[in-house]
Chain A
């Protein structure tokens, strides 16, 4: 199947903190493909580069290298009008719903904005469309004249989703869509997203640090560490039988496993280094519990492991030893 979104060898560098230092690589060679109707969950801790990947896909950041092909269209090579049309089908839902909404605009104006920008509706048709969008995200028309500060966090996120839906997108990039919300509201928003996906055949690129959320929504999962994908596969496989030692550590960092689990050694020591101090070889090697167990084989420091394409794969030199 041709993927709806095909990201190849994506690299994004940022200028160094000091002159004469090399640029900072936030994303360092990411391949990622998403077929129509699929939910792809991108997991990682802060600094893993997951948000930068999303920003590159949406054209909010200019990739340093690599290609992003959406529905057969190379976004890096397309002209402006073509890009504009593609952007209509690619929409974004941010983490902080309140910050994503202009505080001086009413709900009605906020939902109308993308429709006006893309020239999709006006007059009575516009009003009609706004009301239908609100109903679709579960908001009453009574909120039309309200301002964002008069709404709860969950209602704000519904407005953000209504805005994203207004241009009839095919792919929604969801960047931590529920991490600012309480658990009950989170469940409501997750349910809404699942419903919208079923109704419209939407695809999601879901970015989150929360394995519970990602596992609940995703068909495939990619795990990022320091700018690279270290594991990828069908969601159930990755969650049930993780291959990479980092994914294993993430999974055993989940809570709700009983009091005694806190009396054992932590699954990982240390912190993720900043991208300008990424270690050579396998970039996980200084923190890797598997490498320690194997007596620090020199290969881990010498050579960057490769992530195979397709199926369930992990970028680790010692996968057999891990299982």
Chain B
């Protein structure tokens, strides 16, 4: 399959008072094929959201980005701002975690979606209204004409998340970046939204860059998964295989920490310590201070992400034990 998105050695620093204050992403390389769903998993601060935001250059001005991001042959990090604006919401869209804060509270919902259609597709008001109604129906919102007249606060969380998906897919993008799209929702509602995304993806064939802290969720939704730790990809591979047979000790720790893998009432297997913060740079592998199988070689330098077949792992000792 053809490569749709290619992230090559991406690094993002945040500066404060002219100095690097946080090194959020420290050399991430990822590839996403057309129509594929790639899951990006990791704990708070691992760099998954920053990676997602850097694709459309939506990071705050304090961010310093290096590396390369290519989308369909376009160099996104070098593209003029105007060309990028034509891309955003048309060929690459985003869906965020909090539907309540992602719409403008002072405009009716329909107007906000119509604006996208008018800006990107050059439709007039009547045409855009028709298209928006059609798209709202597609995401399961009944009575779209009425819904379009409502303001965001008049809609439930579930309806807003559906509307956000409708807006993101309005122009039929080839890539959807979904950052924790169901995290703020109740479980039974999250199930509806996930299934909606899945069926739309099957029908329309867009690729998904799926960011989540939830390994189980990503494992079910995505074709491939990349696990991030301290700003680097430490393991990647086909979703089901990776979850069933994790290689990196950190991925293993993430899986073992899920209560469903423990015996009720018994202590869960876990690693101690915290994710390294801000500027901290352990001399070798970033996970070594917490790693149950770390040895002297792990302090020599960050382990390279080594590819075997369709699995990759950044660990000197994953097959040692």
Decide if A272 is an interface residue (CB 8 Å cutoff): yes
Decide if A102 is an interface residue (CB 8 Å cutoff): no
For B270, give its contact among A184, A209, A267, A272 (CB under 8 Å).
A184
Chain A residues touching B, majority SS = helix
Q: Which of chain B's residues have a CB closer than 8 A to the CB of A46?
A: 186
For B257, give its contact among A187, A235, A264 (CB under 8 Å).
A187
In the assembly, what is the distance between CA of A304 and CA of B268, in Å? 40
Knowing A182-B213, A188-B272, the reply to whether A258 touches B220 (Cβ < 8 A) is yes
In the assembly, what is the distance between CA of A215 and CA of B266, in Å? 11
Knowing A187-B270, A255-B216, the reply to whether A212 touches B194 (Cβ < 8 A) is no
Q: B260 near A256 (CB under 8 angstroms)? A: yes
Knowing A255-B214, A263-B198, the reply to whether A188 touches B220 (Cβ < 8 A) is no
Knowing A45-B186, A216-B259, A259-B220, the reply to whether A266 touches B215 (Cβ < 8 A) is no
Q: A183 near B188 (CB under 8 angstroms)? A: no
- Which residues of B115-143 are within 8 A (CB) of A? none
Closest to B290 in A: A184
Q: A249 near B268 (CB under 8 angstroms)? A: no
Q: Which of chain A's residues have a CB closer than 8 A to the CB of B195?
A: 262-266
Q: Which of chain B's residues have a CB closer than 8 A to the CB of A210?
A: 259
Decide if A96 is an interface residue (CB 8 Å cutoff): no
Decide if B240 is an interface residue (CB 8 Å cutoff): yes
Q: Which of chain A's residues have a CB closer than 8 A to the CB of B231?
A: none
Knowing A182-B43, A186-B257, the reply to whether A259 touches B267 (Cβ < 8 A) is no
Q: B191 near A267 (CB under 8 angstroms)? A: yes
Bitwise, A280-320 to B at CB < 8 A (1) or not (0) is 00000000000000000000000000000000000000000
- Which residues of B218-247 are within 8 A (CB) of A? 219-221, 239-240, 243
Subset of 25 A-B contacts with CB under 8 Å: A45-B187, A182-B44, A182-B213, A183-B215, A183-B258, A184-B43, A187-B258, A188-B272, A212-B258, A212-B259, A216-B259, A250-B187, A253-B188, A253-B190, A254-B216, A255-B214, A255-B219, A256-B220, A256-B243, A256-B258, A256-B260, A259-B240, A262-B195, A267-B191, A271-B156
| Chain A interface residues (CB < 8 Å from chain B) | 45-46, 152-154, 182-188, 190-191, 194-195, 209-210, 212-213, 215-217, 235-236, 249-250, 253-259, 261-269, 271-272
Q: Shortest 3 CB-CB distances between A and B: which pairs?
A: A256-B216, A187-B257, A216-B259
